Each structure stands twice: as C-alpha cells, then as structure tokens.
Amino acid sequence: MMSEQWYFIDSGENNPSFNMAMDEVLLDWHSRGLLPPILRFYSWKPAALSLGHFQKTVGRIDVDKAKAIGVEIVRRPTGGLAVLHDKELTYSVVLSEKHDKMSPSIIEAYRVLSQGILEGYRYLGIQADLAIPNAPIGKSGTAVCFEESSWYELEIEGKKAAGSAQTRQKGVILQHGSIPMEMDIEQLYDLFTFPNEKVKNKAKHLFEQKAVTINQILGRQTSLEEVKDAFKKGFEKGLDIEFTSYQPNEQMLEEIKELMRTKYESEKYTFQR
C-alpha cells in the first residue's frame, strides 16, 4: 500500500514575523484545497521570543531587555506559553481536521503528530517518550513553555525535550513546535520579569531540572542539517507518509508579506494582552 503524499517545505532562516505569517498562509491555502497536508521546517534570524496567542505580556515579559539583546518578540496564532527560538529546529504541520489520522480531540491529535517527533529523536539515537502529565496543564503559573510538559509532548528521562502548540481554524489543524539543539537559559530568563533575583535564580534552577536539549543528551554538537534529516525521516516513519518538496510561489510570498505587515509586525497585535 502506498504511503500518503505530503508536501515538505524547508524555508530556512527567516525573521519571526515571516515564520508566523507563513504558517498562517499555509493553513489558509490548505483550507481552500490548494495544497495537500504539509510539513515545514524553519529556523529564526534574529532569535525570537514567541508568545502564545492568549498569553499576557504586561508584568510578565521584559520587552526592553529583549530589544537590548536583539531578541524580537512575536505572537503566535497558537496557544501555549513563551518560547525562545534560537539554536533549534522548528517544525509546523498543516492538515485538515477531517484527515483520517486526526481526531476531534486536541490531545489525541497531539499524540498522533508527536509520533513523527518521537521517531526523529530515535533516528538521532535518543530514546524519547510521550509525556502524560500528573497535574493539570498551565497550573504552575509560569510564562515559560519548557517549564511544563503538555499531553504527548516529548520527554527524555523525564525532562521536556520538545514543545508544541496547536490551533484549529477554517477546518484545518496547525501544529508547530520547537526542537532545541541547545538552549541559553541565562538569556531566556533575562526576558521575563521577576520580583527579585532570588526568585529568578530559583526559577532558572528549576528549569534546568525540567528541560533538556539534543546536544545535552548526545554530549556533542549536532548540525542543523543532521537534525533536519533525522526529523524528516522521523515524520515519514511516524505518520507513514512520503514527502514531495515544495517551494512557495510568488502569490504565496506576496500573501505572507501582506500578513506580516498587517498582523505579525504590528505592536498592537503583539502586545494586545
């Protein structure tokens, strides 16, 4: 039996507003039947802090510090908490809610799509597991995504290894997520506001016990190409699909630029909460 054909897009390094606008345009094009299901890989230049769609910034995010160290802030179309995107592979998946593999249950959809990430880690020689949280998600009061695992996110030896977020619009699921190769914890915690240094240092210490990266587990430096190759094969195996490479055409790029201008580059949208 033939594996299902999906499009694969490697859009490389782009600025934060481009990355979010492209995910949203892909969702729109898929909803109109212009594209089959899609897996997209991308990275960020400059580094960026992405905020969950409903996340509050006032009193939580140090916007001045972010500007001072050259980290841009962008608001995602998906939920969840803040993620610092720097030395990582970011993925997005776009497919119909009515797809044979999908479920009305958001948690079940996470489980299915996480199989691709799970197999990607295995191709790197890392044994990862799907998280089953003990406590309700979002009850820790943190603003930092990697401080707690959601249902069926990836854990290695009990530590969160990949963070994902999802939205459903126009009958389409968009799930995107961060697969860190390494992480600058000092920089990450400089981007949040704390009542004092003691609270900040305690939060950093707890974070180190809860999150882990590919390079930490392997004990060596990986290249982005090595990680891309592993996770592309991982998605093919985990979801039983085959990829056809796709390049955005001029019309798509124009729509992305327009959405960047009107939405993702707008401070009114980014700092609406």
Mean pLDDT of 121-145: 69
| Strands ordered across the beta sheet of 72-75 | 72-75, 48-51, 83-85
Q: Which of 145, 172, 252, 259 is catalytic?
A: 145
- The answer, yes or no, to whether residue 25 has pLDDT greater than 80, is yes
Mean pLDDT of 14-28: 98
To the query of whether residue 145 is one of the catalytic residues in this protein, the response is yes
Question: Per-residue DSSP letters for 164-205?
Answer: EEEEEETTEEEEEEEEES---HHHHHHTB--SSHHHHHHHHH
Mean pLDDT of 54-73: 92
CA dihedral 164, 264, 188, 194 (to 10 degrees): -110
Residue with tokens 């990582």: 88
Mean pLDDT of 7-14: 98
Mean pLDDT of 59-88: 93
Q: Give the three-class secondary structure for 84.
A: strand
How far is residue 36's CA from residue 42's CA, in Å, rounded to a whole number? 19
Q: What is the average pLDDT value for the chain, to the nearest integer?
A: 91
- The answer, yes or no, to whether residue 103 has pLDDT greater than 90, is no
135: pLDDT confidence band, cut at 50, 70 and 90? very low
| pLDDT tens-digit series, residues 153-178 | 788 888 999 989 999 999 999 999 99
* Predicted local confidence at residue 153, as pLDDT: 73
- The answer, yes or no, to whether residue 132 has pLDDT greater than 60, is yes
| pLDDT tens-digit series, residues 184-208 | 999 999 999 999 999 999 989 888 8
